[in-house]
Amino acid sequence: MRKSRADAEAEAHGAGETLARHEAELIHLAARLNINLTKIYREVVSGETIASRPQMQKLLAEVEAGAWQGVLVVEITRLARGDTIDQGLVAQAFKYSGTKIITPTKIYDPANEFDEEYFEFGLFMSRREYKMINQRQQRGRIASSQEGKYVGNRPPYGYRRIKLTGQKGWTLEPDENAPNVQLIYNLFTKEGLGATKIAHRLNELKVPTITGKPWIDAVVREILTNPVYAGWIRWGARAVCKTAENGIIKRSRPRAASENIILAPGIHPAIITQEQFDLVQQELDAHKAPRARADRKLQNPLAGVVFCAHCGKPMTRRPGKPDMLMCFTPGCPTVGSSQHRVEDELQRVLRNWLKRYKIQIAKQQPLPMAVPLEKTLANLQKEQQQLEKQSARIYQLLEQGVYSTEEFLQRRADVGRQQDDLCQQISKVQEEIDQQAAIAEAQQMIIPRIERVLQLYPHSSVEEKNSLLKSVLTRSEYSKTTRQTRKVHTDDMKLTIQPRLPRQV
């Protein structure tokens, strides 16, 4: 029984080759020592902690349960390179279960005091080695960034990553999507479109994305603010930040302060000019949505709720008699309206939507019976239990010598494929059951929640109104292009809403 972990160098040359070589080495070791192998763990991922290594988690759980007399591993350092907490978990699991650790050079018995110390020292040295390797890699990334090389794994949209000839490192070259990047910048600077409108335009033009999904404003905004398109290399803008919460290490990627970001001239060709990039940054900085200061009360009940349908920017309150709701984006054709008028229209639209939604829910009655689906799910789960027993039987046949190692691996792979197919079927049936539950949840929660909002809204404060609207709406879009005058009395104001549904019904 063994556990293998691919390091960075093995991944660079092919993790599968390293895994196969280690497996053959340990099978040969087991045959030489007359050890009966009953289970093989293959850990392809290179994780720093036990939490990021699912195979190691399974191994430790079985070791703690006393399931194995020994574990075969290429070297002690393969068991844990995490912090002292992870090392302690590994050491305790083997010590208190009395499980031996068998390597090609030594057999460690946790019950032996000297072996225990040698084992713990090996874990400590593996952690130190890991940190040194990680520090060297990080210094190498910083140095490469300062030299103008691209050190990321995935190239930005509009570029492909290519290996430098005659030297270490990678750089970028424009690909077939580079003209689309130029189009995005031109739509922003020359036509005055915001990120949302640009995303709509790109979707209308069938411009492809990297993932094949539709364009959204966040992706457009990331392209508009990435200096790589102007010929720069940026590193450290979204560094991984680790925090401990309830004893669990969590990772996030917050935006770093400007002084902590490396920005160096790149050796790759730019797609846009520096002047065009600077102009975009000036426009973005000048039109950030204003936020209420902590020492000031909220004055606009529609803040963060109503957005311009043309440019996608938040509608802003302009104090006056009466207060007006305006879009201040240059070149945007949207005409403002009184705040009171927009509030009344928003309540009317929400009330009409609620009426239509009640009719929609009523038409869906009676709901499809959930009993057949639940019965199907129970049958699938029963079949899953039978496969688990069948899998356990395969291990027993291996222990009894009925199966050879090759036959065991083949039979286990066949059962594993059946288990994967069954898991997909169970997930699909469970999804259908959840969809039915979503309809019932919408009836029980969404309808009375909106009715309560409509009842309380006229008598609430500005802050309360804002909270009420945000509790039932994710977004509302405002459209109006005709300015009312003494001669023009037409009001073409239109509001659309996106209710905050618990699930897709």
Structure tokens, 384 = 């899953």
* 3-146 CATH choice from 3.30.70.260, 3.40.640.10, 3.40.50.1390, 3.20.19.10: 3.40.50.1390
User: CA Rg, the chain, in Å?
Assistant: 31
pLDDT at 211 over 80: yes
Write the CA distances from 15 to 7, 12, 100, 168, integer angstroms.
Answer: 8, 7, 27, 21
Can you give the pLDDT at residue 160?
A: 92
pLDDT, one tens digit per residue, over 359-388 is 887 776 544 555 577 888 888 888 888 888
> Using 50, 70 and 90 to split pLDDT, how confident is the model at 219?
very high
| 107-108 β-sheet, strand order | 70-72, 100-102, 107-108
Can you give the pLDDT at residue 144?
A: 82
pLDDT, one tens digit per residue, over 428-486 is 888 877 777 666 655 667 788 899 899 999 999 999 999 899 888 989 999 998 887 66
pLDDT, one tens digit per residue, over 21-49 is 888 888 888 877 877 777 888 876 666 67
> Using 50, 70 and 90 to split pLDDT, how confident is the model at 118?
confident
Can you give the pLDDT at residue 487?
A: 64
List of residues 6+ apart from 157 with CB closer than 8 A: 177, 180, 181, 209, 210, 219, 223
Say which range, 85-89, 178-182, 308-312, has the weakest mean pLDDT. 85-89
Can you give the pLDDT at residue 328?
A: 85
> Using 50, 70 and 90 to split pLDDT, how confident is the model at 176?
very high
pTM over 0.85: no
Give kind and range of the element (H or E) at residue 3. strand 3-5
In 76-169, beta strands by DSSP E: 100-102, 107-108, 159-163
* Fold category of 159-286 in CATH: Hect, E3 ligase catalytic domain fold (3.90.1750)
Contact at 8 Å (CB) between 103 and 118? no
Please give the average per-residue pLDDT across 81-94, as a whole number. 73
**Cα distance between residue 4 and residue 77, in whole Å:** 10
The mean predicted confidence, pLDDT, of the chain is 80
